[in-house]
Structure 1
Amino acid sequence: MSAPTPVAGPTAVRRQLGRQLRALRDAAGTSVDEVVAHRRLGISRAKLFKMEAGRHPVKPQDVAVLCAHYQASAEETEQLTALALATAGQSWWHVYGDDVPEWFSLYLEIEPAAAAIRTYEAELIPGLLQTPEYAREVYRARNPDDGEIERRVALRMERQAILTRDNQPPTLHVVLNEAAVRREVGGPDVMVEQITRLRQAASRPTITISVLPLKAGAHAAMESAFVILDFPDPTDDPSVVYIDSPSSAAYLQKAAEIARYEAIFGHVLSQAVPILEYQP
């Protein structure tokens, strides 16, 4: 039996609910102080902050109270209380427990909700496109004594199901530094299988893979690999830039930051060649 397709986790739902509650409050012309001053609402400053920031599960009754105060429509109230119910659910990856670092958990929550994923990778093939043996070798190189490698590989393979799901799979646009393609992770046989996997993936209409040749020299993305996640409704769910390291991650959401990384992606893409045309 195949693994279930990952779905957006409760954190992603909380973020969406929080933005919509903030938008309702703004549309009503109501400040945080005014909400807190209405003691009958039972909403403290701390609670409202956490609700709008998407930090914690939200009770449907709290949402209903706020919707009534903001004079939201019955349809809006029904939609938001339904979202509130989903904020307390379990994440699809919860079965992997401690195998998921806290700083990576948010990414696993929001990746399945993305409508488009754009990524530049300098050193290795992105996890969404790795073969099991390639992923296994990456984990062995990182920590040869790790007794949970197979579980980590299984999690990575399960993530890939979003690319072939029946319901609106995200578009994936990858630019790989040529070094990532030429580096023999696991040896020649593993790399032959991995490159074949890349070419097969690139034949899908929703996936584009390009290679940035080494002869391109200095380029705009030399400082860091990154992922840009775009969501179906950019108004309710703005894009996120994800940058990680071995022990932490950054999630950039300011408009200027997004624009900067979109420009960087555009620059490296302009110098790259489609993998189906690439010759090592």
Structure 2
Amino acid sequence: MSSQEANMSAPVAGPTVVRRQLGRRLRRLRTSKGQSVDEVVAERRLGISRAKLFKLEGGRNSAKPQDVTVLCHYYGADEQETQALTTLALASQSDSWWDVFGVEAVPEWFSLYLDVEPAATHIRTYEAELIPGLLQTADYAAEVYRARNPEADPTEVDRSVALRMERQAILTRDQPAAPQLHVVLNEAVILRQVGGASVMANQVERLRKAATRPNVTIQVLPFAAGAHAAMETAFVILDFADPEDDPPLVYVDSPSSAAYLQKQVDLDRYATIFDHVQHQALPIMEYPA
């Protein structure tokens, strides 16, 4: 085990993290409006009982999006906050990923990432070997899944691809609800012929098209850059709307597990690594693919 692996904290339960994030933010909205629990419960038109409000603010149960939307409107939250909290409510029902796509497509250690990704305001990622799931074409995603799971049947492959395509919807939300995505790819990612020349040509075109969106930045770290700060690992840094209530998160995975890092020393280290590689990288539009 490397020293880096030894320092990784263990994954935590995805639903618990998301529900607690949602609860803290709902409680802050209520107190900023100057409303007590009694006053909220007294508003019968809201349909929020005392028990339900305590469970929502305490992060004890999954939340119904309609309940969260009603509370946001009552508290006077703006559209961006309302959509962010409604998205968290959907993510709090994380078992739905398994229900829809199956455990093969959503291993337990990946479920937390799926919970929190839709709530992120900024996503920074360095990838050494493959296109990030948020930017993969269906053909590319299928080739990657089959390579990782050579015994997979067509149904498993289809579910995995469907999951990738479902996740990508967050990039096309109306602004400002869509996250800012900044991707740095090792040049090997572009040159590796996953699925053959036609699949890769379509994939690179997908990257170029995505990079025209105002919320997406894609760069390529050329081989000519030589040794660089991210040579030992790929990673994702997720930032959220309120870093005080929802601190940033670093996600690092392996074929059978994942680490979710939130210590400030880890956040600072990975932010520094990303800063170094993005300064050495070229915009995808300038890369001669």
TM-score category of the 2 structures, normalised to the smaller one? 0.7 to 0.9
What displacement does 1:267 show? Answer: 0.3
> What's the counterpart of residue 159 of structure 1?
167
What displacement does 1:145 show? Answer: 1.5
Query: Which of 280, 283, 288 is equivalent to 1:279?
Result: 288
Equivalent residue of 1:224, what SS? coil
Rounded Cα–Cα distance in structure 2 between residues aligned with 1:89 and 1:270? 36
Contact kept, 8 Å, 1:116 with 1:229, in 2: the verdict is yes
What displacement does 1:15 show? Answer: 2.9
- 1:46-74 CA distances to partner (integer Å, 9 max, x unpaired)? xxxxx97x6x5389xxxxxxxxxxxxxxx
Matched, 1:119 2:119: no
Matched, 1:178 2:187: yes
Contact kept, 8 Å, 1:12 with 1:113, in 2: the verdict is no
Rounded Cα–Cα distance in structure 1 between residues aligned with 2:62 and 2:179? 28
> What's the counterpart of residue 144 of structure 1?
150
Matched, 1:211 2:211: no
Matched, 1:248 2:251: no
Query: Which of 185, 194, 197 is equivalent to 2:203?
Result: 194
Query: Which of 102, 110, 115 is equivalent to 1:109?
Result: 115
Rounded Cα–Cα distance in structure 1 between residues aligned with 2:61 and 2:205? 43
Equivalent residue of 2:245, what SS? coil
Gap runs ≥5 in structure 1: 1-8, 24-50, 60-74, 76-81
**One-letter amino acid matched to 1:253:** Q
- 1:231-276 CA distances to partner (integer Å, 9 max, x unpaired)? 0111110100000000000000011111110000000001000000
What displacement does 1:166 show? Answer: 2.2
Matched, 1:95 2:104: no
What displacement does 1:201 show? Answer: 0.3
Contact kept, 8 Å, 2:19 with 2:92, in 1: the verdict is no
> What's the counterpart of residue 260 of structure 1?
269
What displacement does 1:17 show? Answer: 4.8
What displacement does 1:169 show? Answer: 0.3
- 1:123-174 CA distances to partner (integer Å, 9 max, x unpaired)? 0000000000000000111112212011110011100000001251001000
Between 1:9-18 and 1:266-275, the stretch displaced more is 9-18
Q: Cα gap change, 1:124/1:113 in structure 2, threshold over 3 Å: closer, same or farther?
A: same
Query: Which of 201, 211, 236 is equivalent to 1:227?
Result: 236
Q: Cα gap change, 1:150/1:21 in structure 2, threshold over 3 Å: closer, same or farther?
A: closer
Contact kept, 8 Å, 1:57 with 1:87, in 2: the verdict is no
What displacement does 1:96 show? Answer: 1.7
How many correspondences in the alignment?
Answer: 227
Rounded Cα–Cα distance in structure 2 between residues aligned with 1:114 and 1:243? 16
**One-letter amino acid matched to 2:116:** I
Rounded Cα–Cα distance in structure 1 between residues aligned with 2:179 and 2:232? 27
Contact kept, 8 Å, 2:62 with 2:92, in 1: the verdict is no
Matched, 1:57 2:27: no
Q: Give TM-score, length-normalised by structure 1.
A: 0.73
Q: Cα gap change, 1:21/1:253 in structure 2, threshold over 3 Å: closer, same or farther?
A: farther
Equivalent residue of 1:204, what SS? coil
Q: Cα gap change, 1:129/1:87 in structure 2, threshold over 3 Å: closer, same or farther?
A: closer
What displacement does 1:16 show? Answer: 1.1
Q: Cα gap change, 1:192/1:87 in structure 2, threshold over 3 Å: closer, same or farther?
A: closer
Q: Give the share of equivalent positions with the same residue, in percent.
A: 67
Contact kept, 8 Å, 1:57 with 1:88, in 2: the verdict is no
**One-letter amino acid matched to 1:169:** A
**One-letter amino acid matched to 1:273:** L
Contact kept, 8 Å, 2:102 with 2:159, in 1: the verdict is no
Contact kept, 8 Å, 1:11 with 1:110, in 2: the verdict is no
CA-based RMSD of the aligned residues comes to 3.2
Equivalent residue of 2:150, what SS? coil
Matched, 1:132 2:132: no
Q: Cα gap change, 1:21/1:150 in structure 2, threshold over 3 Å: closer, same or farther?
A: closer
